[in-house]
Structures are given as structure tokens and as C-alpha cells.
Amino acid sequence: MLVSLSWLRALCPVDAGASEIARALTARGLTVDDHLSVGSDTVFDVDVPANRPDCLGHLGLARELAAAFAVPLPPRPEDAGVAGEPADRAVRVFVDSPELCPRYTARLVRGVRVGPSPPWVVERLQSCGLRSINNVVDASNLVLLELSQPIHTFDLDLLDEPTVRVRRAAPGEILTTLDGAERTLSPDMLVIADARRPVALAGVMGGADTEIRDSTTNVLIEAAAFLPAAVRTTARALEMKSDASHRFERGVDVEGIVEAQEMACRLLAELAGGTPAPGIVDVDSASRPERALLLRLDRVRLLLGFDPGEDSVGSALQALGLRPKSDSGEGFRVVPPSWRPDLQREADLVEEVARHMGYDAIPSRLPPAPGVPGVPSEVRAIVEDCRDVLTGFGFREAYTYSMVAEGEDDPFVPESSPTAIVLDNPIAEHLSRMRRSLLPGLVRSADLNLRRGTADVRLFEVGRIFEARPEGGLPREPIHAGWVWAGAAAPLHWGGPSRTVGFHDVAGVVEAVVESLRPRTALAISRAELGALHPGRSATWQSEGYSVATAGELHPSLRSRLDLSESIFVAEIDLSALLRLASPEPRNTALPRVPAVSRDLSVVVPEDVAFTRVLEVLESVAAPAPATFCVIDRYAGKGLQPNEAALTVRGMLQPLEKSLTDPEIEAWRAELVRALHAQLGIRIRS
């Protein structure tokens, strides 16, 4: 927008040069690209933000300069004298679409003499990029450029009856606009009409039938507020752009409409010798409650990062014309003026204070950090311990998408799991669900590596899964660790052939990770029930009925469906659940002073009895010293029933201070045999 410096100084007498004024406007968020000399005037090219329609007029910029230089604005000129029949008797105004036109005003000026404008008007308009047409039209342009309120002038004698009706256009209705083009209108367009035809496009352009001519003597002045969206729709549909539509699309000051009428009447009396009629026709259908905002001083301190002081805040608000009132020392109550529609909330007022003080007044220091929300320290410790163990086993960390395809993670979660969270706007069609397991992404990554020639793949990921809550709201986001293993169980070595990874390898990694987190109680191991895992080569680790970890080989049917090139073993641990089981402190025991002793039991176990159940019975027997158990051999075949297996279990007693006697040891062994037979029906192999 081109702005005249002499015009600005007439509205706000500022004792400063063009460069100082340009810097002041720039400091207040109004980009001043350049200033140049036009005739005897200096012109600024100002880029006004879309949320500041008040600054699309010289008066709005003068208010900014008055605040910046701490000078008062001079009073507005007095109203022109009136005479003759009142306006409300000479013309009738009807607003049929108040939802598109909340306020419409009309005034009359009689006895005008249309002719050229005086030189000062021509020069002022030329400075702002407009050409002079005649004194009546030039007067309306002066109002537009000073108050940012578009007005339109009609030849009153060319209006039918005379009547003004603000209505929607009829389908297919024709209007010839001031540019000579014939426009076909539609019902979503608002028009100004007389008793029989449209005479102007509301907020965009007037019609040729009622334009000001050399013979015009009586002028009807229109000043109104139109719905910005309606003006924008009409202008774009007809591919029309005007200075008026540019301002109406951003919103005009509804309370300033009367002032625009007064200025127009004053200019027509001065420039064209007209006499304004008494009164104004004002159809105001909008209720505009007072916008009262509270600005808290502690909020100013928080958003600006420093304390400017109550006096400075109050002075800034007062200079900006916001009429602050102290609110019990806690802040200020502010009523934004009608020409500032951008001030809607407390943060807007804080920005105004900063603008007025100058952003350079804000000290350049980092604000205090009250503590960064995120993962608790104990969770971070468990995550890092898990990463250390897995990298120690030769795994490489991977990062996969948190989104999966519909049904992709179903085989990897229990059937009782909540349904996957559906994304409203996925980044891709095959990533429309939030993952409930880390394994689908890791399996895809492992398969990609195998297809590209990587012989052995070990990948792991630590990340969040997403579980919907039954009661709704934000999902649960527990942290899991998952890994995939394919190929060799150990690096190639010249001392022997390389062994392919098996179930016990991946299960051993699970045991190592769990043990590194020092659970308070042992986890029960049972067969996994996931559809993604081989039923005979998988296991789950549980605590109090809740699955903490799962490991196994991918089910052959899933491997076939995914077209995987070779067997892949997977595992997943719920680190958030392990955190609840972890010991807060490391467990330490004194070094024993005497050697350990061991006894082996060869027992026949039915296939439907899990070893974890056997271990529970053995550990429940009172021992004369701390005891541990492990399986050292397994046999199935000749001499046993098809549904039986022989296990050799070694029990280790480790006394700390005193050696055990043979009778004590044998009594303990006998009690083990009795407990196994009594509770599980297990017999000693003969």
C-alpha cells in the first residue's frame, strides 16, 4: 500500500524525518519496503499484515506513529453544516440479507457541482497510486485512503423511487459495472439494488447505471459493513479485484462507518459545493457486545521472558488506545477499540506490549527451564540397560515407523488386545494404524536386509506402542524392546562350522535382558499363544498372569504369507511392565567360605507338565542352604512312553559359612523326590 508522508503528518504531527518514520513503522510490524519522492511528497510502500485492516488507511498508521513517538492525535475536523429535507424522508433503505450486511448507512448531499478536483487532492491521490476522476469520486477515494472505509456514491436522481435494497442477486441477473463489463450474477452474491434492478456489487464495485456524471446534482453516499467472506466469494467468482474489496475482505470498523459518512459529507461540501441533508439512514442489525480482556502481569512475564513492570505495561496499553484499567494490582482490564479486530485474547495484548516497548528491549537470555517433561529417569535407565545388553549380543539398533497397515500387527498381539487406533489422515494408505507391537516393522526391515544379500541379520528397536483405552481418551504408550534374528547364531570362525540361530538363542537373549533389569521375582515361562509364532518354538515370560516378554520363531504360515526368504526368530519385551518388577537397588550377597555341593535327579516328566511347574515344586522345598536348579540332560525314546520325557535336573547347594553333612544333603534330596511325586506325579527314572 502506498502511503503519503505529508498526509500522515497532517493526521499526526511528528517531528521526525522520513527514515525515522519508516523505522518506527517497521519496528511495529509494518514492513516498509522503500520510500521515494513523488512531486513534493514522500511516499512509503507499506506491507500491511492481513490481521491489521485498520492500517490500510492513513489514520490507522497515524495511530501507530502517535504511539511510537508519544504524541497525541489532533482532534478530527468538525462536521459540515446541514440543511434541507432529512435524509430518512428522501430515501428508503431496506436490508433483506442482514447476515451478509450487518450495517448499512446512507446520507444525502444536494446541490453538488461535478468538476475537477483542486491540485492538492490530485497530488494526494497520485501519491497513493490513484488517478483523479472528478471531485465527487475523488472525495470517496480520500475517505477510503484515510479511514480504510470504502464508500460509494450514487446519483440519487438515477435511483428508482428512490429506494436502496440490500439483497442477494437473482439467478442470472445482469449488472453492468463501472468498468463497462456486463456481469452475470448468482444468488450467493450480495447486490445493492433500487426498486427494480441491481445498481452495485456490494463491497466490490458500483454499477454504470447510477454512476456520478457531469450532470449529477444530488448524491447518495453509501457506507456499510459487508461480511468479508461474502465479498471475497463475489470478487473471486467474477475475477474482480478493487481497493474496496481488498479492505472489505479483511473487515472494516463497523463503529467507524458514521465517521466515514461525516468525512464524505465534509469533503463534498468543500470540493463540490454540496449541502448535506440532516440526519443519517442507519440500518444496524448487529449486536456488538463490548470486548473486555484481562491482561495478567504474570502472563506478561511468562510470555516475554522478563518483567517489564506494571507501569511500563500500563503506559504501552494507554499509548495504543486500549483504555487499560488496573485490576487489583494483578494486571489490567482492557477494552480494545472497534478498529482493532485482531485483539481477541490475552496473548494478543502481550504482543502489543512487546511491540510498543520494542522487541529489542527484551533481554537476550534463555528462559529458566522448570524441567523438561519426558521419559522419567528410571525408565531411561532401563532403556539404556536394555540397549547395552542387546548391542553386546551383536544387535544393531533400528528405527521403524510407528504406523502399520490394517491388520498387520494382529498376529503379534494377543486376541484380547484392544483394536488398533485408526489414523484420520495417514501419511500413506498402508500406514493407517498405530502399532501395537514393534515386531511387524522389524520383520519388514529384516526381510529387506536379507533380500539385499545380508547373510546374518540382528536388529533391535526400543520404542513405544499404542494401545487404545476402553474409556477413550489418549492411548496408553508403554515402552517396548523388540528384536529379530536371522542367519547364524554366532560369527563365522575357523575353528568350526557356523550354527544357525535357534529358539534357545533368542530365548537366552530374553533371559539376559530380563536379568539385567533385576526383577524382584522370577518370571514364569509357558508356551506362547500368539498367532505369529511357531507353537512348538516359542515361549512367554509372565508375572502375575501378565505377559512381560515373548520370543519364538515366526509361524510357517505367516512366513509363507509374508514371502520371507528364511526363518526369522523374534522377541519383544514390555519394558514398562519390567520397570514395575525391577528392584530399586542391586542385590549383593557375601562370597561363600565353603564349596558348593550338588545332587542330580533323573525324573520322568509327562509332556503336558511344563518345566516351570517342576521348578516351582523344587524351589518350594526347604533347603539347608541357598539352592539353584538347572536341566543338564533330556531324553525321550526307548524305555519311555510316547508322551514322556526324562530330565536330569541338577540341584546346587551353596552354603555360606558352614559345610553341609551328607545326611543333611540326602534328606533334602529325598524331600525333593517326595514333593515331585506328591504334587505332579513325577517318578524317579530307574
pLDDT value for 375 = 56
Q: Do domains 87-284 and 377-581 have the same CATH topology?
A: no
Least confident of 287-291, 600-604, 636-640: 287-291
Give pLDDT tens digits for 259-298. Answer: 999 999 999 999 999 999 999 999 998 778 888 899 999 9
Mean pLDDT, residues 20-38 taken together? 82
Pick from 446-455, 587-596, 664-673 the range whose average pLDDT is largest: 664-673
658-682: burial string, b at 16+ Cβ within 10 Å, e else: eebeeebbeebbeebeeebeeebeb
Q: Which CATH class is domain 597-684?
A: alpha beta
Position 567 confidence tier, pLDDT thresholds 50, 70, 90: confident
Angle formed by the axes of helices 58-69 and 18-27, nearest 10°: 90
SS3 label, residue 77: coil
How many CA atoms, within 13 angstroms, populate the side-chain half-sphere of residue 203?
Answer: 32
How far CA 231 is from CA of 124, 147, 207, 241, 247, in Å, comes to 28, 19, 16, 10, 10
pLDDT value for 485 = 95
- The domain 87-284 is classified under which CATH number: 2.40.50.140, 3.50.40.10, 3.40.718.10, 3.40.50.720? 3.50.40.10
pLDDT value for 600 = 93
Cα maximum dimension of the chain: 134
Give pLDDT tens digits for 96-138. Answer: 999 999 999 999 999 999 999 999 999 999 999 999 999 999 9
pLDDT value for 368 = 61
pLDDT value for 16 = 86
Q: Domain map of the chain by residue range?
A: 2-69, 87-284, 293-361, 377-581, 597-684
Position 396 confidence tier, pLDDT thresholds 50, 70, 90: very high
Q: What is the rounded average pLDDT for all residues in the chain?
A: 90
Residue bearing cell 495504543: 320
Position 584 confidence tier, pLDDT thresholds 50, 70, 90: low
Mean pLDDT, residues 21-37 taken together? 82
> What is the enclosing helix (H) or strand (E) of 355?
helix 346-357
Instruction: Look at residues 7, 109, 3 and name the one whose alpha carbon lies nearest to residue 55.
Output: 3
pLDDT value for 282 = 96
Mean pLDDT, residues 131-154 taken together? 96
Mean pLDDT, residues 172-176 taken together? 95
SS3 label, residue 381: helix
Give the separation between CA 334 and CA 296, rounded to whole angstroms. 11
- pLDDT over threshold 70, residue 373: no
Mean pLDDT, residues 474-489 taken together? 92
Instruction: Look at residues 64, 55, 6 and name the one whose alpha carbon lies nearest to residue 35.
Output: 6
Position 612 confidence tier, pLDDT thresholds 50, 70, 90: confident
Of all residues in the chain, what percent carry a pLDDT higher than 70?
97
List the grid coordinates of 229: 467472506
Mean pLDDT, residues 245-255 taken together? 94
**Domain 293-361 classified CATH 3.40.1190.20?**
no
Q: What is the pTM of this model?
A: 0.58
Position 221 confidence tier, pLDDT thresholds 50, 70, 90: very high
Mean pLDDT, residues 467-486 taken together? 91
- pLDDT over threshold 80, residue 41: yes
Of all residues in the chain, what percent carry a pLDDT higher than 90?
65
pLDDT value for 27 = 86
Give the separation between CA 419 and CA 429, rounded to whole angstroms. 18
pLDDT value for 367 = 59
pLDDT value for 268 = 97
Instruction: Look at residues 363, 358, 361, 354 and name the one whose alpha carbon lies nearest to residue 317.
Output: 354
Phi, psi (degrees; rounded to nearest 5) at 286: -100, 140
Give pLDDT tens digits for 495-550. Answer: 888 889 999 999 999 999 988 877 777 788 888 889 999 988 999 998 877 889 99
Give the separation between CA 233 and CA 544, rounded to whole angstroms. 65
List the grid coordinates of 662: 551328607
CATH number of 2-69: 3.30.56.10
Give pLDDT tens digits for 61-96. Answer: 999 999 999 899 999 998 889 999 999 999 999 999
pLDDT value for 579 = 84
- pLDDT over threshold 80, residue 365: no
Q: Which CATH class is domain 377-581?
A: alpha beta
Please list the alpha-helical segments (H only) found in 216-286: 228-237, 243-248, 257-272
List the grid coordinates of 353: 506490549
